[in-house]
Amino acid sequence: MHHLIAPSLLASDFANLQRDIELVNASEADWFHVDVMDGMFVPNISFGFPVIKAIKKHAQKPLDVHLMIVDPDRYLKDFKEAGADSITVHYEACPHLHRTIQVIKQLGCKASVAINPATPVANLVDIIADLDMVLVMSVNPGFGGQKFIEHTYTKIAQVKTLAANANPNLKIEVDGGVDIGNAAKLVEAGASVLVAGSSVFSASDPSLAISQLKHL
């Protein structure tokens, strides 16, 4: 299976959001990665429903919504209605993770769980069979443009091993500090979806940067 590319709109120019969405529409990217931050789970605030609805109006590819928020259960239906195709919740934010995942699926969205750099992969053992995707954070969530954490390769391989029997179709997404220098090694380790923010939108030719991540 070919890996997928999900440019993170967090690194786009919000004053030219439609332009950047159309750039991604016309590129070899597969999904839009949409980062929601609440200033509680992470020390930063990004954007919410009105902006996601505006993105959805122009996006011609699925919205991969990454919720960096406390108590996401309160808002799952609203994210579905705003246009989410897949919803990622954080392991660290969900005391009743199994219930949360069932609700996401009942809404008709793909269900995914993210783990922070210090959260062991082994914590997913009792939920992995129910998931469409696991998101391995390769930076501490909250900001774009951070340095990639090298231990991520090991964690991706651990997720791959855990999924081999329990859930062979599981997608493994990696998010944070992904660029052309580490992408091939990440895919080799088992990543099937690469999120890229600054390495795409800070490039002089974002569309070319996407193609380069796609054809490693």
Q: Which residues bind ligand DX5 (CB under 6 A)?
A: 8, 10-11, 33, 35, 66, 139, 141-146, 175-178, 195-199
Using Cβ positions, the residue closest to ligand DX5 within the complex turns out to be: 197
Q: Is the separation of the CB atoms in 89 and 100 below 8 Å?
A: yes
For residues 114 and 116, give the distance between their C-alpha atoms in angstroms, rounded to a whole number.
7
* Residue range at the interface with Zn ion (CB under 5 A); choices 23-31, 63-71, 104-112, 204-212: 63-71
Question: Is 2 annotated as a binding-site member?
Answer: no
In the bound complex, what is the minimum distance in angstroms from residue 83's beta carbon to Zn ion? 16
- The reply to whether 14 sits in an annotated binding site is no
Which one of the listed residues 20, 35, 64, 85 is annotated catalytic? 35
The answer to whether 66 touches 175, Cβ cutoff 8 Å, is yes
| Interaction mask 163-202, Zn ion, x per CB under 5 A | ------------x---------------------------
Residue 141 near residue 155 (C-beta atoms within 8 A): no
Active site annotation includes 175: yes
130 assigned to active site: no
CB of 51 to ligand DX5, least distance (A): 14
What φ, ψ does residue 59 adopt, rounded to 5°?
Answer: -70, 130
What is the sign, positive or negative, of the torsion defined by CA atoms of 22, 24, 28, 30? negative
* Gap between the Cα atoms of 98 and 112, Å rounded: 11
Q: Strands (DSSP E) along the chain, which ranges?
A: 4-7, 32-37, 63-68, 86-90, 110-115, 133-137, 171-175, 193-196
Find the shortest distance in angstroms from Cβ 77 to ligand DX5.
Answer: 22
Look up tokens 């429903």; give the residue.
49
Query: Considering beta carbons, is residue 161 or 202 the nearer one to ligand DX5?
Result: 202
Q: Could you list the active site residues?
A: 35, 175
Q: What residues make contact with Zn ion under the rule CB under 5 A?
A: 35, 66, 175
Binding-site residues: 8, 33, 35, 66, 142-145, 175-177, 197-198
Residues annotated in the binding site for substrate, as ranges? 8, 66, 142-145, 175-177, 197-198
